[in-house]
Amino acid sequence: MDVSLGDRSYEILVNPGSLACLSVRVRALRPSRVAILSNPTVYGLYGRPVEEMLKGHGLDAFTVLVPDGEEYKDLLWLYKILGDLLRNRCDRKSVIVALGGGVVGDMAGFAAATFMRGIRCVQVPTTLLSQVDSSVGGKTGVNHPLGKNMVGAFHQPSLVVIDPHTLRTLPQREFVAGIAEVIKYGVIWDAELFDTLGRCCKEILGLGSELQDAIVRSCQIKATVVGRDEKESGLRAILNYGHTIGHAVEAVTGYRRYLHGEAVAIGMCGAGDLAVRMGMLPRQDARRITKVIENYGLPTRIPKDISPDRLTEAMMHDKKAEAGSVRFVLPTAIGMVKLVSDVPGSKLRQTLESCRVT
Ligand SMILES: NC(=O)c1ccc[n+]([C@@H]2O[C@H](COP(=O)([O-])OP(=O)(O)OC[C@H]3O[C@@H](n4cnc5c(N)ncnc54)[C@H](O)[C@@H]3O)[C@@H](O)[C@H]2O)c1
Ligand SMILES: [Zn+2]
């Protein structure tokens, strides 16, 4: 499938075993040098064979490693990456291959956006979250001590190669957290995908073929949305369903208690409840959303120790809050959402109270 952005359009390949085709695809880009950006965990699993394969196809490849962890997604490590690119004589025709999860992908994308004012990047995402979300769409960046993803650029990749086989080695908790984003696509866009997720929980958790279909569908939806609204001036905001409350839960728990997808799972249940209170969504649909999320073993409720006041405060400080007004993506049916920026404070408070663990 393709992301349609005129002369910046690119292909997304989703195929079990597609890692083996990477060198042919990268060679077609005719790069002067290929910098593989990865971390020791992923490099230990997939990096060496990838590097050997690229070299075997006559490509001038080398590897740059960053430590494994969100805390290294910062400007200091970006500076180090840019230095390694310069030391290895990369130029405008070089290509960065991002081999890893969203952390590696965001840093590789931002390095590609800034090195010599922009070079090409190939995303090879190896977590479910990065396969269905961060590798597609061109948002790149790093964290700042004063906020997550505060420094970055839009820079579309030249190619995305997704090999679902890489998910076999992913820790179960990381895998399940990625499912939250897939459920998100079902709720915002595709009732059929949502039904499949409900019906085929066992098969998907067992990495069956239904998972590959769900990855393809998720990428198609993201590609469609990004193709229509690259810079988030409207439609793209629907991808933030579950993220308003989710980001607040992450922030007040210091980004340590929950994985991103887990916090989004709680946020999607919260947004469902809020939509019911706003009279926009039948209660039974909100229940279905929560049930599917629960079936995958994801959290559905706000922990008891987090007060509605702290969450509301965190929402006001989110970078997506515009001029002090918090914007929600609320479902009106399974497969359809609306952007709402005038949610009454009293209704939000009721939701934050009633979604708390009792
Ligand atoms: N750019 C975007 O549009 C966008 C969208 C969503 C999230 N993000 C960013 O993505 C990041 C989160 O990405 P993530 O959830 O992939 O986390 P991650 O990159 O930290 O990966 C999670 C863990 O899994 C390990 N791992 C990766 N692939 C593996 C594999 N195949 N087998 C075994 N272990 C493997 C990693 O080393 C890491 O320890 C955040 O920084 C977030 O801000 C960006
Ligand atoms: Zn997300």
Q: What is the pLDDT along the chain (358 residues), one digit of tens a residue?
A: 888 888 888 889 999 999 999 999 999 999 999 999 999 999 999 999 999 999 999 999 999 999 999 999 999 999 999 999 999 999 999 999 999 999 999 999 999 999 999 999 999 999 999 999 999 999 999 999 988 999 999 999 999 999 999 999 999 999 999 999 999 999 999 999 999 999 999 999 999 999 999 999 999 999 999 989 888 888 999 999 999 999 999 999 999 999 999 999 999 999 999 999 999 999 999 999 999 999 999 999 999 999 999 999 999 887 666 666 789 999 999 999 999 998 999 999 999 999 988 8
Cβ contacts of 335-340, under 8 Å, gap ≥ 24: 335/186, 335/187, 335/188, 335/189, 335/190, 335/191, 335/192, 335/194, 336/188, 336/189, 337/187, 337/188, 337/238, 337/241, 338/280, 339/237, 339/238, 340/278, 340/280
Any atom of ligand 1 within 6 Å of the Cβ of 100: yes
Any atom of ligand 1 within 6 Å of the Cβ of 67: no
Per-residue model confidence (pLDDT) at position 214? 97
CA of 313 to the centre of ligand 2 (A): 20
CA of 129 to the centre of ligand 1 (A): 7
**Cα Dmax for the chain:** 64
Report the distance separating Cα 37 and Cα 318, nearest Å: 30
Per-residue model confidence (pLDDT) at position 256? 92
For ligand 1, atom 43, name the residue with the nearest CA.
Answer: 149
For ligand 1, atom 41, name the residue with the nearest CA.
Answer: 103
CA of 54 to the centre of ligand 2 (A): 32
Report the distance separating Cα 47 and Cα 24, nearest Å: 16
List the structure tokens of 147: 């906020």
Per-residue model confidence (pLDDT) at position 179? 98
Report the distance separating Cα 74 and Cα 143, nearest Å: 5
Distances (CA, A) of 282 to 9, 226, 344: 39, 29, 19
Per-residue model confidence (pLDDT) at position 321? 67
CA of 143 to the centre of ligand 1 (A): 14
For residue 131, the one-letter residue type is Q
Nearest to 348 by CA among 240, 257, 248, 237: 248
Report the distance separating Cα 295 and Cα 303, nearest Å: 19
Any atom of ligand 1 within 6 Å of the Cβ of 184: no
Report the distance separating Cα 15 and Cα 21, nearest Å: 10
Q: Which residues have a catalytic role annotated?
A: 117, 139, 181, 222, 232, 236, 240, 243, 247, 260
Atom of ligand 1 nearest to the CA of 104: 19
| Contact assessment for residue 262 and residue 180, using Cβ atoms and an 8 Å cutoff | yes
